[in-house]
């Protein structure tokens, strides 16, 4: 098949990990006979430096014309001064809104070879396989913001339609997996959460009676993610809760650098990125973990291009590379055995080429 993919390397370690993701994407294209047109575009802090806008019109146009968008990471101290009026994160929020991607899928699995990489006991981690579905375009991040000399306000708003559509995404996913959905809110305190719980209950009863639904308060969910993560299948929650909980859940796998994400809307076009940030403290050192980006490429193949076999082959290549000991310092058994970013990418490439 032929496909157009917009590539946004971004800031910090973004360009380093995206480079390895693109190497693997090209290898998959060669192995399976596909043709992918890749267009690199400025985004985030790099775009601010270039033209003063984190999301230039040319970048947005390229993303809207593409079949999928691959993003590295954005942000860093250079653009985070409190008085800054233009920030890289504004570009990300704007891109998500323009693409209409409202459902953020963040799968978390624990590789058997990396059980010792987490700070949790291996017995708690064995068999963990869960997926977060985070609402991405509503809530407090997008609400009205006000500030004066004496106070500041961030408004959290959700509509019935926004809750309905994200719950349906999560329920369909749960139906394909183990049939268990946990909806996370703060309904004992927040009106938005009371609405969320009521709508989720109604949608599940009317449309997905075969999927079990459990409501859980966000503070309880945070505790149980560490106490009994193996019990979870699919978890759905609002924007800010999902942002926080998925970073917590990444520690189950041992490192932020291991985990991918897919942001999806009504069509097939999606935005794919590792869940980690730009990590300016290690940028340019060649030690960033590329696995989250490579696995995001696999999600791109599966969800936007409909290439399930190719996605599975890439995921298997990553798994085999990790099992063989190809690991960056964040998950290496010891520092002297750690590989560089490019070496881990090469280890994955070797397994793709081997078929």
The reply to whether 1-103+256-355 and 119-253 are identical in fold is yes
Instruction: Please work out, in degrees rounded to the nearest 5, the angle formed at the alpha carbon of residue 154 by the alpha carbons of 277 and 214.
Output: 70
pLDDT for 2 equals 94
Q: Which CATH architecture has domain 119-253?
A: 3-Layer(aba) Sandwich (3.40)
pLDDT band at 166 (very low <50, low <70, confident <90, very high): very high
- Cβ within 8 Å of residue 145, ≥6 positions away: 152, 153, 154, 155
Q: Give catalytic residue positions.
A: 141, 186, 219, 243, 247
Q: Could you read off the pLDDT of 98-144 as tens digits, one per residue?
A: 999 999 999 999 999 899 888 899 999 999 999 999 999 999 998 99
pLDDT for 306 equals 97
pLDDT for 36 equals 97
250: left (phi over 0), alpha (psi -120 to 50) or beta: alpha
Q: Class of the 1-103+256-355 domain?
A: alpha beta
Q: Could you read off the pLDDT of 260-298 as tens digits, one per residue?
A: 999 999 999 999 999 999 999 999 999 999 999 999 999
pLDDT band at 204 (very low <50, low <70, confident <90, very high): very high
The 3-class secondary structure across 71-82, one letter per residue, is EEECCCHHHCCC
pLDDT at residue 145 is higher than 90: yes
Q: In the chain, where are the structural domains located?
A: 1-103+256-355, 119-253
DSSP state of 129: E
Are the C-beta atoms of residues 71 and 215 closer than 8 Å to each other? no
Residues 156, 145: Cα–Cα separation, whole Å: 10
Q: Could you read off the pLDDT of 214-249 as tens digits, one per residue?
A: 999 999 999 999 999 999 999 999 999 999 999 899
């Amino acid at each position: 098949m032929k496909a157009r993919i917009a590539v946004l390397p971004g800031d910090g370690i973004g360009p380093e990990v995206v480079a390895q993701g693109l190497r693997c994407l090209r290898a998959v294209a060669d192995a399976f006979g596909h043709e992918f047109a890749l267009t690199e575009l400025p985004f985030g802090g790099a775009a601010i430096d270039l033209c003063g806008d984190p999301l230039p019109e040319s970048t947005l146009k390229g993303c809207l014309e593409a079949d999928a968008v691959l993003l590295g990471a954005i942000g860093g101290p250079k653009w985070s001064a409190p008085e800054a009026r233009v920030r890289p994160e504004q570009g990300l929020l704007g891109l998500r809104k323009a693409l209409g991607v409202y459902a953020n899928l963040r799968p978390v699995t624990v590789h058997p070879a990396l059980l010792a990489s987490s700070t949790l006991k291996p017995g708690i981690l064995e068999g963990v396989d869960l997926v977060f579905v985070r609402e991405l375009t509503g809530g407090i991040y997008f609400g009205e913001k006000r500030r004066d000399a004496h106070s500041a306000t961030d408004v959290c708003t959700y509509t019935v339609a926004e809750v309905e559509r994200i719950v349906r995404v999560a329920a369909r996913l749960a139906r394909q997996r183990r049939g268990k959905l946990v909806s996370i809110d703060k309904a004992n305190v927040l009106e938005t959460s009371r609405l969320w719980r009521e709508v989720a209950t109604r949608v599940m009863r009317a449309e997905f009676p075969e999927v079990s639904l459990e409501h859980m308060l966000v503070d309880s969910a945070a505790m149980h993610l560490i106490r009994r993560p193996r019990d979870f299948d699919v978890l759905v929650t609002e924007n800010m809760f999902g942002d926080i909980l998925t970073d917590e859940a990444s520690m189950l796998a041992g490192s932020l650098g291991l985990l991918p994400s897919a942001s999806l809307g009504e069509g097939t076009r999606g935005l794919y990125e590792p869940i980690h940030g730009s990590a300016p403290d290690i940028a340019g050192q060649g030690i960033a973990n590329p696995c989250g980006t490579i696995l995001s490429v696999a999600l791109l193949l599966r969800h936007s291009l409909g290439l399930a076999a190719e996605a599975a082959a890439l995921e298997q290549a990553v798994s085999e590379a990790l099992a063989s000991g190809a690991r960056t310092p964040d998950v290496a058994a010891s520092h002297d055995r750690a590989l560089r970013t490019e070496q881990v990418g090469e280890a994955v490439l070797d397994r793709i080429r081997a078929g």
